[in-house]
Copies of this chain bind each other. A is one copy, B any other.
Amino acid sequence: MPDSRRSNCPVSCTLEIIGDKWTLLVIRDLIMGKKTYSEFEQSPESIPTNILAERLKRLQSHGIVRRNQYQERPPRYAYELTDKGKALKPVLLAMMKWGHENLADTLSLEDIRRMQK
């Protein structure tokens, strides 16, 4: 579904998928190993729950994220990045680097890794 692109510029087309304030945060969480809906909700930025649900569906429809039911009763789901989704990692890393180097009081990759443990 290319549903009428603005142009065939790869940057423009990419922004039509991930160009907003929340989508890349979900992808960040997935890269950091988070898997479930409630884990995404618990991230410090407090994404509104309807936005989270909508973004996860969008990302699935674009083949960036996959949803697996890992338990029958009660039903539980794990989200994960596809190869196409994992390929976004360089975009995330470039943003992380820029943010850390150019915006005051932002964490480095090392700070974040330390907090994971």
* Cross-chain contact A11 with B90 (CB below 8 angstroms): no
Q: Interface digits, A93-117 against B, CB 8 Å rule (1 contact, 0 not)? A: 1111111111111111000100000
Q: Which of A19-27, A34-42, A51-59, A66-74 sits within the interface?
A: A19-27
> Which residues on B sit within 8 Å (CB–CB) of A15?
21-22, 24-25, 95
State the main secondary structure of chain A at its contact with B: helix
| 12 new A-B contacts at CB < 8 Å, known A9-B45, A11-B25, A11-B96 | A6-B45, A8-B105, A9-B107, A10-B98, A10-B100, A11-B24, A13-B106, A14-B96, A15-B24, A17-B103, A20-B20, A93-B94
On whether the beta carbons of A28 and B16 are closer than 8 Å, the reply is no
